[in-house]
Amino acid sequence: MLEPSVPNAIPNCIPDPPPLVIIDGEEEFELIVLDSKIDRKYKRCPLRYYVRWLGYEGTPLEYDWMAATELDNAQEAISEFHLANPKKPGPLESL
């Protein structure tokens, strides 16, 4: 069972990442999809998702733009994002 992250009391000290979640026998991190965009400077995969990595709150690693192809095991989070934001750039099949 997952446990909430405890904020770090030491200033300027990045805490260790939270334990990984095992999905289909592979270790994965949990995330929330916050936004999507098409960025044509990336030829292989222009679809990008802005994600928030759970367990990294308050660190420089908390938010990141990721290629859709790097989020194969985050399909549930991506589906939830697109259900709530149907007009945002979507799955690769629609490009």
pLDDT, tens only, 12-29: 666 666 666 666 776 667
Q: Where are the domains of the chain?
A: 20-66
Positions in the chain whose pLDDT score sits under 50: 94-95
DSSP state of 80: H
> With the C-alpha atoms ordered 60, 82, 29, 65, is the resulting torsion angle positive or negative?
negative
Give the per-residue pLDDT at 94: 46
